[in-house]
Amino acid sequence: MTRLMNSLSGAGHRRPGLTYREVGATRTPEALPERYHHLRHSAVVGHGRAAFETAGAAVTTWRMHRASGARVRADADRAAPGTRLEVALGAGPLRIGVPCEVIWTAYEEDRIGFAYGTLSGHPECGEESFIVTLDPDGTVRFTVTAFSRPAAWYTRLGGPLIPVLQHAYARLLGRTLARLVRT
């Protein structure tokens, strides 16, 4: 995974199906758009180049999401701009599937990951990135950055509980990725 590739499609321009205007904004986590709830979570998941490459592959091939208990249906095996996917959480009749589209990817020497944006039918409106970085000291860090706001009656009704659940899911993803790196 040392090949350098960086793509961003549609920065700042709303594309058909996406439910928000600030497309690509998670690429600059320190300047997330106003009028949204912001989520930033970071966790150390390993150490060294091998751990970095393992973590990056788990993130960009949906393995991390699946290992955390989510069901993922995607039209590609690996994250690439324009890839459509549905991530489903829950069980049985309480399973909620959320449609997303990959907005940008990072396949760099010390940074691997992607961001997806919400599509029509998603209970939230916004974007979320999942990035693995290799620090100069060899620390492998996983970071989730998101901005979102309710787009469905039940997420509006959930009010302050929704950000708490989003943060809990980000922590779960970090723990899951650390476990995948260790094995």
Task: Give pLDDT, residue 15.
Answer: 56
SS3 (DSSP) at 82? coil
Q: Where are the domains of the chain?
A: 36-182
Largest CA distance in the chain: 46
Residue 99, H or E segment: strand 96-107
pLDDT at 170 exceeding the cut of 90? yes
Sign of CA dihedral 154, 33, 20, 165: negative
Closest CA to 176 of 62, 85, 90: 62
Confidence label for 16 from pLDDT (cuts 50, 70 and 90): low
pTM value is 0.87
Distant-in-sequence, close-in-space partners of 171: CB < 8 Å, separation ≥ 6: 41, 43
pLDDT per position as a tens digit, 48-91:
999 999 999 999 999 999 999 999 999 999 999 999 999 988 77
Q: Percent of the chain, pLDDT > 90?
A: 70
pLDDT at 10 exceeding the cut of 50? no
Phi, psi for 2 (deg, rounded to 5): -90, -5
Residue 47: CB atoms within 10 Å: 15
Top-level class of domain 36-182: alpha beta
pLDDT per position as a tens digit, 80-134:
999 999 998 877 777 778 899 999 999 999 999 999 999 988 888 999 999 999 9
